[in-house]
Amino acid sequence: MPAVQETVERVKRIDVDQYRYGFETLIESDKAPKGLSEETVKFISEKKNEPAWMLQWRLEAYRRWLTMTEPTWARVDYPKIDFQDLYYYSAPKPKKTISSLDEIDPEILKTYEKLGIPLREVAMLEGVEPKPGEQDPNRRKIAVDAVFDSVSVATTFKAELKKAGVIFMPISEAIREHPELVQKYLGSVVPTSDNFYATLNSAVFSDGSFVYVPPGVRCPMELSTYFRINERNTGQFERTLIIADKGSYVSYLEGCTAPQRDENQLHAAVVELVTHDDAEIKYSTVQNWYPGNSEGKGGIYNFVTKRGDCRGDRSKISWTQVETGSAITWKYPSCILRGDNSSGEFYSIAISNGYQQVDSGTKMIHLGKNTSSRIISKGIAAGKSQNTYRGLVTAHRKATGARNFTACDSLLIGDKCGAHTVPYIEAKNSSATFEHEATTSKISEDVLFYCIQRGLTQEEAVGLVVNGFVKDVLQQLPMEFAVEAQKLISISLEGSVG
């Protein structure tokens, strides 16, 4: 059997059992009544003990949403979603108010343990902090916020971060404790009227992470949020808001997994980033939602709006994403380059296999003077999947000296998948310099045979070639996650590694 043919066969067999995170946790939960109405919105707001202004904000979004229709321009195909057939709020039922990690349902802690995410600070300190006199740059402290279904269950290292002045907490808490910050920034990057899914999220979001880094502070550790959808028929609508004040820096990573289920689950998140003068946010995602089985049954519908606003001069926002999961991905992390000399980056690896459909890319909107952006996108399509890069690069007429470099590379494995590149470029300023490069290639049999002749198995050969293909992007990830991502890429494409 020709080498590529064999790979195709292997890839075809990739099934639910390849998905390591497909377990379900049995815990009591507290759900909103099924369906979406003003009552649901009020229910959520009440559950969260929200101030009146927040409820008002949600209700306005809900009323707006009623007038909107689902976007259809993406290259994805799925049955119509019945938005009344979903639960919009599900929280693990707490025995009492949680004041420390010890009081969290042990089942939830076990779930995170299974996912390899240490929540206990003690364990974190033991496992991650280098011993005195020992300097291991690979091992750094990471503060974790864990979101289980709709609720943030634990945030670690809060006290230590507080010393540095960094606020890292569930957004539901931030609404109560830092209303002035939330009111100032929430919806300022992704307005409630932005798009169908973002508006829906604005009405019903239940939790997510909030980060504020004060002026001049370099956040002393990586911040990380892990999202887990557990409950059946539940939409997950998290909201993340990160603000880097003047001259500050923060690196943030999110990870996502879900149990394997026959039905599709909806995930519609909104992430807003704001950088002031000379500030920088580095936002990394390792998305591994359940992709569905080999027949295309089940899997997460991932409709996400992520946008960063380089509000200040010389500020910088960098998105890095490794996308291997979800049945459908609709996601365009973008940068608004408002401040003069600000810069935006988008590094992406999107892998699709089985019947997965990916329509992902970025928008770089150049408004300020001498702004620059860089897009490196690597799409890998295998099985019967469709993988689309969709990107917009635009320069406003006042954006003198705008520069962009875009490189989109697609790699096909087998002959039943598709890779598509849809770039939109608009330059309203004659001084703009935009460069676009795109390539599409297949893993050639000659390359595979060369590796195999040197002793590698078929799967090792594919893994090696693919990891070489995505190397530029992997290098952008924080080191401890780059290794993880590399493994994830191999798992997504191989038949026997599990």
Binding mask 392-431 for other proteins (x = CB under 8 A): ----------------------------------------
The torsion of the CA quartet 246, 247, 251, 254, rounded to 10 degrees, works out to 10
Pick one of 81, 422, 456, 491: the residue that binds other proteins (CB under 8 A): 456
Task: Classify 274 as helix, strand or coil.
Answer: strand
Stretch that binds other proteins, among 40-48, 395-403, 450-458, 482-490 (CB under 8 A): 450-458
- Scanning 63-71, 147-155, 288-296, 451-459 for contacts with other proteins by CB under 8 A, the matching segment is 451-459
Tokens of 3: 């080498």
Q: Nearest approach, Cβ of 362 to other proteins (angstroms)?
A: 21
Two tokens, residue 378:
């690597």
- By the rule CB under 8 A, 159 interacts with other proteins: no
Binder among 114, 398, 471, 487 for other proteins (CB under 8 A)? 471
How many of the other CB atoms lie within 10 Å of CB of 214? Answer: 16
Closest CB to other proteins among 183 and 467?
467
- At 417 the three-state DSSP class reads coil
Of the listed pieces 10-18, 46-54, 62-70, 470-478, which binds other proteins according to CB under 8 A?
470-478
130 DSSP 8-state letter: P
Tell me how far apart the alpha carbons of residues 274 and 281 are, in angstroms, rounded to a whole number: 8
* 347 is a site residue for other proteins (CB under 8 A): no
- Residue 446 makes contact with other proteins by CB under 8 A: yes
d(CA 63, CA 72): 21
- For position 487 contacting other proteins by CB under 8 A, the verdict is no
349 binds other proteins (CB under 8 A): no
Cα–chain center distance at 136? 28
Q: How far apart are CA 435 and CA 376, in angstroms?
A: 12
Number of shown-chain residues binding other proteins (CB under 8 A): 28
Which of residues 107, 472, 480, 484 is near other proteins by CB under 8 A?
A: 472
Among 107, 445, 480, 484, binds other proteins (CB under 8 A): 445
3 binds other proteins (CB under 8 A): yes
Among 2, 33, 71, 130, binds other proteins (CB under 8 A): 2
Choose among 443, 449, 436, 438: nearest CA to 469. 443
- For 126, 150, 427, the CA distances from 329, given in Å and listed in that order, are 37, 20, 28
| 195 is a site residue for other proteins (CB under 8 A) | no
Closer of 92 and 463 to other proteins (Cβ): 463
Least spacing, CB of residue 447 vs other proteins, in Å: 5
Q: Is the CB of 5 or the CB of 84 nearer to other proteins?
A: 5
Pair type for strands 90-92 and 29-31: antiparallel
**Cβ neighbours around 390 below 10 Å, total:** 23
Stretch that binds other proteins, among 243-251, 278-286, 400-408, 440-448 (CB under 8 A): 440-448
Among 467, 480, 490, 491, which residue sits at the site for other proteins (rule: CB under 8 A)? 467
Q: Which is nearer to other proteins, 235 or 463 (CB)?
A: 463
- Alpha carbon of residue 430 to chain centroid: 35
CB nearer other proteins, residue 326 or residue 458 = 458
CB of 466 to other proteins, least distance (A): 9
- DSSP H or E run through 393: strand 386-395
470 binds other proteins (CB under 8 A): yes
The secondary structure of 358-389 as a DSSP string is EEEEEEEEE-STT-EEEEEEEEEE-TT-EEEE
Work out whether 1 is an interface residue with other proteins (CB under 8 A).
yes
Q: Which is nearer to other proteins, 253 or 474 (CB)?
A: 474
The structure tokens listed for 39 are: 């009552």
Q: Is 102 in the site for other proteins (CB under 8 A)?
A: no
Which of 49, 56, 138, 457 touches other proteins by CB under 8 A? Answer: 457
Choices 1-9, 131-139, 220-228, 239-247; region in contact with other proteins by CB under 8 A = 1-9
**Buried residues in 268-306 as b, exposed as e (16+ CB within 10 A):** bbbbbbbbbbbbbbbbbbbbbbbbbbbebbbbbbbbbbb
477 touches other proteins by CB under 8 A: no
**Which contiguous run of DSSP H or E holds residue 336?**
strand 334-337
Query: Are residues 138 and 480 in contact, defined by beta-carbon separation less than 8 angstroms?
Result: yes
Contact between 138 and other proteins per CB under 8 A: no
Residue from 95, 444, 483, 497 in contact with other proteins (CB under 8 A): 444
Q: Does 460 bind other proteins (CB under 8 A)?
A: yes
Closer CB to other proteins, 200 or 380, in the complex: 380
Residues forming a β-bridge with 286: 255, 322
Residue with token string 């009623």: 66
Handedness of CA 212, 214, 216, 220 (dihedral sign): negative
> Binding segment for other proteins among 9-17, 53-61, 110-118, 443-451 (CB under 8 A)?
443-451
Q: For residues 132 and 137, which CB has a smaller minimum distance to other proteins in the complex?
A: 137
CB distance 353 to 380 below 8 Å: no
Q: Within 17-170, where are the H helices? A: 38-47, 52-66, 106-114, 121-128, 158-164
Q: Which residues bind other proteins (CB under 8 A)?
A: 1-3, 5-6, 444-447, 449-458, 460, 464-465, 467-472
